[in-house]
Amino acid sequence: MSEQQIKAEPLSNAEREWIDDQRAACSKFVSELIKRDVGPTPAIPDLHSAFDTWLHQFVQSTGKRKLFSKKPHVIDPNSIALSFGVVLGDHIATATPLDWMIVTDAYGTDMMLYAPDKDGKYTDIINAPMNMVAKRIESRTAGWIEPTYNAAVEELSKMVG
């Protein structure tokens, strides 16, 4: 990508508040799913376990059922994608020089992790954790959070140098 194709801007106060809301929602969801308090920031292993538990419940709730059967209450997939994506992104940001920004590239504008170069100028090092979660929900993929987090941190750290 060329410099003209990507732009990163700091988050507004409203966007920072939205991220805080997603963090709180994720902590609540993870605590409910793994049946213990995880505090304000679920650790990667807890996030991994909770996602797999939720995904199993989600798949069960969307499968074919007998007429009039009770479906279990399952947290909305969009809520999972956003809240788990924010916390996954927070963990990646803590382990790398990336930070939350509003990024515009050839694919559109979204809240992503972005790494500027040492002078604070353009790079094309971005990561879209909310999109990562959404794609795994769509493909019904379990067991991915912990290994993907480890690989992302390793790769992004190499890229940033």
Per-residue pLDDT tens over the stretch 65-111: 544 555 567 899 999 999 999 999 999 999 998 999 999 888 889 99
Which phi and psi angles does 57 have, rounded to 5°? -60, -40
Q: Which CATH architecture has domain 3-160?
A: Up-down Bundle (1.20)
Minimum mean pLDDT range among 33-42, 43-52, 120-129, 141-150: 120-129
Beta-carbon contacts of 85 under 8 Å, excluding residues fewer than 6 positions away, are 22, 129, 130, 131, 132, 133, 134
d(CA 4, CA 2): 5
Give start and end residues of each alpha helix (H) in 2-114. Answer: 13-34, 44-62, 77-95
Strand partners of residue 111: 102
C-alpha to C-alpha distance for 22 and 17, rounded to whole angstroms? 9
Which burial class, exposed, middle or buried, applies to 131 when counting CB atoms under 10 A from its CB (0-12, 13-18, 19+)?
Answer: middle
What pTM, to 2 d.p., does this model score?
A: 0.90
